[in-house]
Amino acid sequence: MDELVTYSKQKSASVFEKETLLNEYRIAQESRQASLMGRKEVFMGKAKFGIFGDGKELAQIAMARHFQNGDFRAGYYRDQTFMFAIGESTIREYFAQLYAHTDVNLEPASAGRLMNGHFATRSLNADGSWKDLTSMKNSSADISPTAGQMPKLLGLAYASKLFRESAALKEFNQLSKNGNEVAWGTIGNASTSEGMFFETINAAGVLQVPMVISVWDDEYGISVPNEFHTTKGSISEILRGFQRNDDQNGFEIFVVKGWDYEALDKAYENASRIAREEHVPVLIHVKELTQPQGHSTSGSHERYKSKERLTWEKENDCIVKFREYLLESGKITEEELNEIDQEAKSFVKNQKEAAWKAFSGEIKSELQESSSLLLKLSKSSPQSVLIDQLNDELIKALNPIRKDVISTVRRALWITKSENSDERADLTAWYSLQQKLNEDRYNSYLYSHSSWRAENIEEVPVEYADDALMVDGREILQACFDHLLKNEPKFFAFGEDVGKIGDVNQAFAGLQSKYGEHRVTDTGIRECTIIGQGIGTALRGLRPMAEIQYLDYIYYALMTLADDLACLQYRTKGGQKAPLIVRTRGHRLEGVWHAGSPIGMLLHSLRGMLICVPRNMTQAAGMYNTLMAADEPALVIECLNGYRLKEKMPSNIGEFKVSLGQPEVIKTGKDLTVVTYGSMCRIVLEAAEDLNQMGIDIEVIDVQTLLPFDVNHSIVESLKKTNKILFTDEDVPGGATAYMMQQVIEEQKGYYHLDVEPATLAGKAHRPAYSSDGDYFSKPSVDDVVEKVYAMMSD
């Protein structure tokens, strides 16, 4: 076994220019002061919560020195010094995020939607098009869940592999320069205990991608020391088996102390070179880091650290050690460092105050406007005493926030609801304007606002030749994917068994041999990082299709889908996008783990994604064509029992498009409306034949997509005709059927057109039992639909 590389001082200080040394000391001190002052702002009530990167400054400066244009970061909330050092965040922006300033120009990472320490660069122009990512230093948008940044790190690095090795991608030089870009990840020592970390490490070693992971090791995870987190108490020790050697690929693993300036520089210099030139992943275990203020503003580390440990942390603080190193070099005087110390404090204080003034100034202006309107209303209202009381409380509020202003106005409008004065009309108009502004501040960009958003993609009807062949449904998908691979060089597909055998249902059969392993690719069994691979490559401008073999396996990937992909546009307010297509298959097959239909869970977890539920493979192909023209992430759930069912082969297989959010009436009727999707469409259509013999004529609507859902409110038009409605699917009771009912009965005002109470027909509360009998007694059957409709008609 090759030994791990441990770095210690190997250079002389004379190697580093004095100007460089002083500048990096200044960055470290400014970052430290931002942490110290940020904590005080929270305790003063000017911010709600704070989490800081103090104690990690020197290592992040070393990493920043070797981070190049085009590179990407996937890190976490301790990385403020790094972002300052690469010039992609400022002290003022840092405090704007601490205060949750909603102005995207002043807080460009998240427009105040994330707590402090969550960094992102803006990859998109105002119209949603890609910037030249190769001319920027890029940071993917941070998320809070521990190790959650790891899966997409794999994808960011994998994109470089594709750009280097795929000739078809050479033309996209605004996205990559021959795959020379490195993906830099950061993670805390305690978070390496998470499965996402180990899955990413393994996948990166298999794929051999240009990834550098830094583990910031301060020996604790909140109050819990390393001995409870990691075998042997050392992540580098237990990953020795991943160390590459002369005969086997793997990782390079470096160990370095977080206060050793020269050793840090050498470690990151080598890591950058190895990853960039050789496309070999590197892990840098940065040890002996400190956390001077503890984990966050929610508690004090003095509660769980010994006096000896606290003394050690003060003596081995990276800035203290850096200062000693600079003075020992003989190149820099104590007076010069003292001057930087004072300038750093003054600069950070000024930037903090400027950020606070900008943030509070907006709210103060709104408060003054509302207060003036309240005073005018008071003079004309019989409720003047109550209005004056509300106004006085608002004016006297310490550090008022926008909620205080708006809540006061709403209450004033409540108590004057019976009045009809010009003054009340003025206050109402002001409140209406604020509602629109606040909708943009806090609720916009859940989905794309660009001209490529899915709702802008026009439908192109499917066409058939007179002599169109009847083929297996999987052959229609195969023809669709063949067309996409041929005509879109940025499109590629990957997943378990997707490559050599062409997926378990043969929709990619023969396409790997036709287009190559980079376009149609097998992966290991690792759903979480399959999704991460897709997110990261999509963040770099590619068009991936990530396959989850069966819908039941999506639980492994749900956290990554929900926490990272679905909310990406929202949490960056349109600054980043990842138009990943997640392909899977579900609904009816066999048993507990291959017949699930957890649609309600997905609907509630994946707002921000599109959820497509095609009833057959022709509809699925049309949806894939639409999604490839759009710029939003989507989950497409194909019907497991549809791959061998016969369908006509379209003549415009690569051109026809299904409009998302547009239900289709697949059988007209006059007596009762049945709303469903996916495999249940066939069940309901069969039931319709039996019902017809009973004299009951049902209308059957396939919603086609659940997100978006019936954007033109067409279902309520059917209800106006039939006055009765049944929602049915294979999910558990209260799942997607309840969602559809809410959309139609409440959102579309369907309640006013009912003659009988609306009903749902779902699967049983348990997962489906095995065998055909298990399916019959676990999920809605034709018989169930017939009896349910008959009973509703009898009512």
User: Strand pairing partners for 511?
Assistant: none
Alpha-carbon Rg for the chain, nearest whole angstrom, is 30
β-strand 672-676 against 610-612: which pairing, if any? unpaired
pLDDT bucket at 9, cuts 50 / 70 / 90: low
Confidence at residue 2, expressed as pLDDT on a 0 to 100 scale = 52
The mean per-residue pLDDT over the stretch 21-26 comes to: 97
Three-state SS sequence of 599-630: HHHHHHHCECEEEECCCCHHHHHHHHHHHHHC
CA gap 299, 281 in Å, rounded: 36
The mean per-residue pLDDT over the stretch 272-281 comes to: 98
CA gap 473, 548 in Å, rounded: 19
Q: Yes or no: say if 706 and 738 are a contact pair by the CB < 8 Å rule.
A: no
User: Which residue in 83, 175, 76, 87 sits closest to 124, CA to CA?
Assistant: 175
User: Which residue in 217, 299, 304, 297 sits closest to 254, CA to CA?
Assistant: 217
Q: In this structure, what token pair is assigned to residue 76?
A: 């976490």
Confidence at residue 1, expressed as pLDDT on a 0 to 100 scale = 39
Q: What is the dihedral of CA 298, 304, 307, 310, to 10 degrees?
A: -50
The pTM for the full model equals: 0.96
CA gap 793, 141 in Å, rounded: 53
3-class secondary-structure state, position 184: strand
Question: Residues with Cβ < 8 Å from 90, sequence gap 6 or more?
Answer: 84, 351
Residue 159 amino acid letter: A
Q: Could you report the per-residue pLDDT of 501-539, keeping only the tens digit for each?
A: 999 999 999 999 999 999 999 999 999 999 999 999 999
Q: Could you report the per-residue pLDDT of 450-489, keeping only the tens digit for each?
A: 999 999 999 999 999 999 999 999 999 999 999 999 999 9
Three-state SS sequence of 673-693: EEEECCCHHHHHHHHHHHHHH
3-class secondary-structure state, position 588: coil
Q: Yes or no: say if 675 and 726 are a contact pair by the CB < 8 Å rule.
A: yes
Q: In this structure, what token pair is assigned to residue 656?
A: 């026809």
Q: Is 50 exceeded by the pLDDT of residue 132?
A: yes
CA gap 110, 95 in Å, rounded: 13
CA gap 543, 172 in Å, rounded: 13
* Residue 330 vs residues 19, 29, 61, 515: alpha-carbon distances, Å: 14, 20, 22, 61
The mean per-residue pLDDT over the stretch 58-71 comes to: 98
Query: DSSP state, 7?
Result: E
User: Which residue in 721, 717, 732 sits closest to 763, CA to CA?
Assistant: 732
In what helix (H) or strand (E) does residue 439 lie, and over which residues does it extend? helix 422-443
pLDDT bucket at 13, cuts 50 / 70 / 90: low
Confidence at residue 588, expressed as pLDDT on a 0 to 100 scale = 75
Residue percentage of the chain with pLDDT more than 90: 94
DSSP one-letter string for 108-167: TTTTT-S-TT------B-TTS-B--GGGS-EEPPP--STTTTHHHHHHHHHHHHHHHH-G
Q: Yes or no: say if 98 and 351 are a contact pair by the CB < 8 Å rule.
A: no
Confidence at residue 451, expressed as pLDDT on a 0 to 100 scale = 97
Q: In this structure, what token pair is assigned to residue 549?
A: 């073999």
pLDDT bucket at 435, cuts 50 / 70 / 90: very high
Cβ-based neighbour number of residue 549 at 10 Å: 21
Q: Is 70 exceeded by the pLDDT of residue 67?
A: yes
User: Strand pairing partners for 225?
Assistant: 220
Residue 434 amino acid letter: Q
CA gap 336, 32 in Å, rounded: 18
Confidence at residue 16, expressed as pLDDT on a 0 to 100 scale = 85
Judge if the upstream peptide bond of residue 708 is cis by omega within 30 degrees of 0.
Answer: yes
Which phi and psi angles does 444 have, rounded to 5°? -85, 165
CA gap 677, 401 in Å, rounded: 45
The mean per-residue pLDDT over the stretch 493-504 comes to: 97
- Counting DSSP H helices and E strands in the chain, the numbers are 26, 23
Confidence at residue 652, expressed as pLDDT on a 0 to 100 scale = 97
Question: Considering the chain, what is the average pLDDT of its residues?
Answer: 96
CA gap 94, 107 in Å, rounded: 8
Confidence at residue 102, expressed as pLDDT on a 0 to 100 scale = 98
Confidence at residue 596, expressed as pLDDT on a 0 to 100 scale = 85
Confidence at residue 108, expressed as pLDDT on a 0 to 100 scale = 98
Confidence at residue 388, expressed as pLDDT on a 0 to 100 scale = 97
